[in-house]
Amino acid sequence: MKSFWVLTGVAIFFAGTAVAQVSVDVSSYGVRVQSGAGTEVNVNSGSIGSDVQMEGVAVINGEVFIDGEKIPEGKSVYTSKKTKKTYLIHWGKNGNVSVSEK
């Protein structure tokens, strides 16, 4: 019985002293997350460079880009000049957007 209590005490001690540290640094994209004793999160917003070639759908901060073209808010149907695919866009509240291929 005594060994049971000793093992239980040791297990509780080691469970209470477990420490994890996570560090992510993608500073070239403006994101750095570090966790451990303290939590630190830095996010710098930016924009898509004019020389970036995108294919597909991207929604960034409530703005919709299809094949690299910014779609004006309120437009509900868009046909890509690059791929000739047609997309349905549903603009919701608070920057929520859903895009599906027709």
For the chain, give every domain's residue range. Answer: 57-101
pTM, to two decimals: 0.49
Query: Across the chain, which distance is largest between two alpha carbons, in Å?
Result: 77
Phi then psi dihedrals of residue 6, to 5 deg: -65, -45
Which residues, 6 or more positions from 66, have their beta carbon under 8 angstroms from its beta carbon? 56, 57, 58, 78, 80, 87, 99
Span 32-75, pLDDT tens digits:
555 555 555 555 555 666 666 778 888 888 888 888 889 999 89
Reported confidence tier of residue 5, pLDDT bands at 50, 70, 90: low
**Which amino acid is located at 24 in the chain?**
V
Instruction: List, in sequence order, the alpha helices (H) in the chain.
Output: 2-16
Q: What would the two tokens of residue 78 be?
A: 């868009």
